[in-house]
């Protein structure tokens, strides 16, 4: 696992947290929820290759 991936996910998390707080304080709770959901999707998309590698390792380990 690459350290850059961890930093990218942390940066997305910090950005989403700040935007979420700003939108919630201004009374735009729906947009805050959408920003949080978008941040989750971006983080999952960044981890797709690592998840694929994990499944490949499990598959090779159990001989499927």
CA distance 1 to 41: 19
Nearest to 37 by CA among 22, 51, 16: 16
Question: Is the confidence at residue 37, as pLDDT, over 90?
Answer: yes
Mean pLDDT of 1-11: 89
**Does the pLDDT of residue 2 top 90, yes or no?**
no
Whole-number Å distance between alpha carbons of 2 and 18: 25
pLDDT band per the 50, 70, 90 thresholds, residue 41: very high
pLDDT at 9: 94
pTM of the model: 0.77
**What is the CB-side half-sphere exposure of residue 37 using CA atoms within 13 A?**
6
Please compute Rg for the chain using Cα positions.
16
pLDDT exceeds cutoff 80 at 40: yes
pLDDT(1) > 90 = no
- What stretch of H or E contains 54? helix 48-62
């Amino acid at each position: 696992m690459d350290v850059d991936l961890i930093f990218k996910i942390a940066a997305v998390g910090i950005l989403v947290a700040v935007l979420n707080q700003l939108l919630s304080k201004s009374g735009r709770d729906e947009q805050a929820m959408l920003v949080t959901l978008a941040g989750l999707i971006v983080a999952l998309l960044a981890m797709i290759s690592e998840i694929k590698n994990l499944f490949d390792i499990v598959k090779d380990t159990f001989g499927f």
